[in-house]
């Protein structure tokens, strides 16, 4: 009897698995201009949030808030560069636990739309491509059918895609759609061999079990190189655009099928030195209403922007080089700290006209903590830190890539052995991106790619050292300049023609754990130090033992000029309040130690420490962010 029961049970399980499987489907119904979910007409209202810009402990909180706004799907890019930081070395844990991110969305009740690229832009370092591609070949034709490039793309997708497969909607997971490449129509290469190769690679792994789509700008010309045969096309645009014109342009290339705006912009991105984006909420709601009234599906980019912690922000190349700041607030409906803004409630109202709003409570802002000010102490100059660092010796300068060095800084130093004119011009035409020039450790001036300043008159005597501290401010993430090597990538000359040789080069990755270990094992440097920058400053503190603490807060850097901030084991990112617009850095609650344990806040300050007077040598943690500070004229 028993065995027989088991037998029927097994048959029953097999049958029900089969039923479950065949019940779940997600497809494009071209004839009826809609998606079909389980055979029924469906449209999505989705929001973008990038797992790599939000601490994992906060993913679920943010997703719940998206759901409460009426969204039924979550969209994210997948960042190849951080999943494969060095060739054939893969990370899928912690901040990069993509699988758990997708499972969290499923748990919250959101469908998932993924954008694996491989190129993603996203205002990320090199548009999400690994820096080491430029080590393999500095002239690699990225985003084309270049066979070296395709070798690494194929290898990466062969690792990634099998992990996604069990999470497809048809397999019981939340993933309904996968994007192929990213706004490829805006890239000059227009290589159909490449996009066809990608499509076939997706099909090899996923067959017809998930909707494949492309996203391009909303002018008809963007779709010419962006559309891929056999792949569903969508477009992107922001508020104030004539919606019917935009979708008409899509129709010129795809006469039937649901209309989709895959990046509807409720805000916009920032660059250092340029005013903070501020997109009018009423206009955002008006255009959203028009999109939804056309029965279109939409993804709001970004619904929650988050933060580019560490060194992973990208940069644009307009008429000048424009690095992106640490905050990716994006003027989005959920602020950088995950708080609902007035835009959140206004957009929720519009969404509620078209989709049922769930009966979950609308969020309110999370509490913030004001910890007051802490005095910073000098622990080490950069010059002392260098003594512990590995270095390269090379006749000519090496790029970051040649040193297997992806991100952060490098120090290039050499001794001038000959007599020069007085003054003499130092030329660093291959500077990427910002260089502090020292003679015998005394600052002479700053070179800057953003400002097109590549040379500097100096006075130097034989046997003095020239040292250039170079910052990678972020590889270009959009357009045709993405082969953006870092460091010093051409020869350095003194005067009109003498090439400087015999360099010692220190790559500085400033991994936050290494920096913290170094500082915690150092003691406060009480020597009179009249030249402490560039240097490391630190303060140890405890947070009040109040109930609920720690809360989120914002690091304020009154009087400091430019550098990197580390909170415990975390790199909070770059600060540069003297050019704005970002003045404070987001410090999430989850990065603090509670229970009466010590916290460390450390700065690597490049330019100026306000420490002539100890009362001004402070940082503070405040309740309110400042993202719209004064920028240069």
Ligand X SMILES: *[C@@H]1O[C@H](CO)[C@@H](O)[C@H](O)[C@H]1NC(C)=O
Rounded CA-CA distance 240/250 in Å is 18
Q: Is 425 in the site for ligand X (CB under 6 A)?
A: no
The residue count for the chain:
633
Site string for ligand X, 77-116 (x = CB under 6 A): ----------------------------------------
Q: Is 283 in the site for ligand X (CB under 6 A)?
A: no
Tell me the window of 100-108, 238-246, 317-325, 513-521 that interacts with ligand X (CB under 6 A): 238-246
> Toward ligand X, which CB reaches closer, 244 or 441?
244
Candidates 125, 181, 263, 336; catalytic one = 263
Record the tokens describing residue 213, joined without a space.
């789509």
Q: Is 294 in the site for ligand X (CB under 6 A)?
A: yes
Query: Among 16, 22, 221, 244, which residue sits at the site for ligand X (rule: CB under 6 A)?
Result: 244
Smallest distance from the beta carbon of 48 to ligand X, in angstroms?
25
The SS3 call for residue 357 is coil
> Toward ligand X, which CB reaches closer, 295 or 480?
295
Alpha carbon distance, N-terminus to C-terminus of the chain: 86
Which of 163-201 are b and which e, b meaning 16 or more Cβ less than 10 Å from the residue's Cβ?
Answer: ebbebbbbeebbbbbbbbbbbbbbbebebeebbebbbeb
Cα–Cα nearest to 510, from 424, 573, 446, 554: 573
Q: Secondary structure of 499-521 in the HEC alphabet?
A: ECCCEEEEEECCCHHHHHHHHHH
> Toward ligand X, which CB reaches closer, 93 or 245?
245
Cα 457 from chain centroid?
Answer: 37
Tell me the window of 182-190, 207-215, 240-248, 364-372 that interacts with ligand X (CB under 6 A): 240-248
Smallest distance from the beta carbon of 112 to ligand X, in angstroms?
25
Smallest distance from the beta carbon of 247 to ligand X, in angstroms?
10
Task: Answer whether 239's CB lies under 8 Å from 192's CB.
Answer: no
Task: Answer whether 535's CB lies under 8 Å from 606's CB.
Answer: no
Smallest distance from the beta carbon of 242 to ligand X, in angstroms?
4
Q: Is 242 in the site for ligand X (CB under 6 A)?
A: yes
Task: Answer whether 49's CB lies under 8 Å from 307's CB.
Answer: no
Tell me the window of 140-148, 237-245, 403-411, 625-633 that interacts with ligand X (CB under 6 A): 237-245
Query: Among 158, 245, 370, 502, which residue sits at the site for ligand X (rule: CB under 6 A)?
Result: 245
> Toward ligand X, which CB reaches closer, 211 or 291?
291
> Toward ligand X, which CB reaches closer, 295 or 404?
295
Tokens 């061999």 -> residue: 193
183 is catalytic: yes
> Toward ligand X, which CB reaches closer, 63 or 351?
351
> Toward ligand X, which CB reaches closer, 16 or 295?
295
Smallest distance from the beta carbon of 283 to ligand X, in angstroms?
12
Contacts (Cβ under 8 Å, ≥6 apart) of 80: 116, 117, 118, 120, 128, 129, 130, 156
Rounded CA-CA distance 434/454 in Å is 9
Query: Among 22, 23, 283, 295, which residue sits at the site for ligand X (rule: CB under 6 A)?
Result: 295
Cα 443 from chain centroid?
Answer: 32
Candidates 183, 402, 471, 605; catalytic one = 183
For ligand X, how many residues bind (rule: CB under 6 A)?
5
Which of 105-132 are b and which e, b meaning 16 or more Cβ less than 10 Å from the residue's Cβ?
Answer: bbebebbbbbbbbbbbbbbbbbbbbbbb
Rounded CA-CA distance 546/91 in Å is 37
Smallest distance from the beta carbon of 609 to ligand X, in angstroms?
54
> Toward ligand X, which CB reaches closer, 295 or 417?
295
Tell me the window of 239-247, 336-344, 378-386, 442-450 that interacts with ligand X (CB under 6 A): 239-247
Smallest distance from the beta carbon of 252 to ligand X, in angstroms?
13
E strand segments, 110-254 = 111-115, 175-179, 211-217, 232-238
Smallest distance from the beta carbon of 300 to ligand X, in angstroms?
20
274 is catalytic: no
395-424 residues near ligand X, rule: CB under 6 A: none
Q: Which residues of this chain interact with ligand X, rule CB under 6 A?
A: 242, 244-245, 294-295
Residues designated as active site: 183, 263
């Amino acid at each position: 009897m028993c065995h027989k029961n088991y037998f029927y049970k097994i048959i029953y399980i097999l049958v029900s698995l089969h039923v479950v499987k065949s019940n779940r489907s997600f497809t494009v119904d071209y004839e009826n201009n809609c998606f079909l979910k389980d055979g029924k007409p469906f449209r999505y209202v989705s929001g973008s949030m990038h797992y790599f810009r939000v601490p994992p402990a906060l993913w679920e909180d943010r997703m719940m808030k998206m759901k409460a706004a009426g969204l039924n799907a979550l969209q994210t890019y997948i960042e190849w560069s951080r999943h494969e930081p060095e060739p054939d070395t893969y990370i899928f844990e912690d901040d990069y636990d993509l699988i758990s991110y997708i499972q969290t969305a499923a748990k919250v009740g959101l469908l998932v739309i993924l954008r694996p690229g491989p190129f993603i832009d996203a205002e990320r370092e090199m548009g999400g491509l690994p820096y080491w591609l430029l080590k393999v070949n500095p002239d690699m034709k990225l985003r084309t059918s270049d066979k070296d490039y395709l070798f690494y793309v194929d290898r990466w997708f062969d690792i990634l895609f099998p992990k996604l497969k069990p999470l497809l909607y048809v397999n019981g997971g939340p993933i309904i759609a996968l994007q192929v490449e990213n706004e490829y129509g805006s890239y000059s290469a227009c290589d159909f061999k490449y996009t066809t190769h990608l499509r076939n690679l997706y099909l090899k792994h996923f067959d017809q079990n998930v909707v494949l789509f492309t996203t391009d700008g909303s002018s008809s010309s963007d779709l010419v190189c962006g559309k891929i045969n056999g792949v569903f096309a969508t477009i992107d645009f922001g508020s104030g655009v004539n919606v019917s014109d935009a979708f008409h342009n899509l129709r010129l290339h795809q006469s039937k099928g649901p209309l989709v705006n895959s990046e509807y912009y409720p805000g916009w991105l920032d660059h250092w030195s340029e005013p903070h984006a501020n997109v009018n909420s009423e206009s955002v709601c008006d255009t959203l209403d028009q999109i939804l009234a056309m029965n279109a599906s939409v993804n709001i980019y970004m619904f929650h922007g988050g933060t580019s912690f560490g060194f992973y922000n990208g940069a644009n190349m307009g008429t000048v080089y424009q690095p992106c700041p640490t905050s990716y607030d994006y003027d989005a409906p959920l602020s950088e700290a995950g708080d609902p803004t007035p835009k959140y409630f206004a957009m929720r109202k519009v969404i509620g006209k078209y989709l049922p709003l769930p009966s979950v409570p609308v969020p309110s802002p999370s509490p913030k903590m004001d910890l007051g000010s802490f005095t910073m102490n000098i622990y080490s100059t950069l010059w002392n830190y260098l003594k512990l660092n590995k270095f390269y010796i090379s006749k000519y300068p090496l790029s970051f890539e040649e040193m297997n060095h992806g991100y952060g800084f490098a120090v290039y130093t050499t001794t001038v052995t000959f007599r020069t004119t007085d003054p003499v011009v130092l030329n660093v035409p291959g500077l990427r991106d910002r260089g502090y020039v020292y003679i015998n450790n005394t600052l002479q001036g700053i070179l800057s790619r953003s400002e097109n300043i590549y040379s500097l008159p100096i006075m130097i005597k034989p046997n003095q050292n020239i040292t250039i501290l170079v910052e990678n401010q972020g590889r270009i993430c959009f357009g045709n300049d993405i082969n953006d090597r870092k460091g010093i990538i051409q020869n350095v000359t003194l005067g009109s023609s003498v090439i400087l040789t015999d360099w010692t080069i220190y790559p500085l990755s400033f991994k936050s754990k290494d920096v913290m270990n170094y500082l915690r094992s150092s003691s406060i440097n009480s020597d009179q130090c009249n030249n402490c920058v560039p240097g490391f400053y630190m303060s140890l503190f405890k947070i009040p033992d109040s109930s609920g603490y720690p809360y989120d807060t914002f690091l304020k850097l009154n009087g400091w000029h430019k550098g990197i901030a580390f909170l415990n084991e975390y790199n909070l990112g770059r600060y540069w309040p003297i050019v704005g617009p970002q003045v404070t850095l987001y410090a999430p609650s989850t990065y603090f130690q509670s229970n009466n344990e010590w916290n460390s806040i450390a700065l690597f300050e490049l330019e100026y420490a306000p420490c002539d007077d100890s009362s001004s040598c402070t940082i503070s943690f405040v309740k309110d962010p400042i993202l719209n500070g004064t920028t240069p004229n």
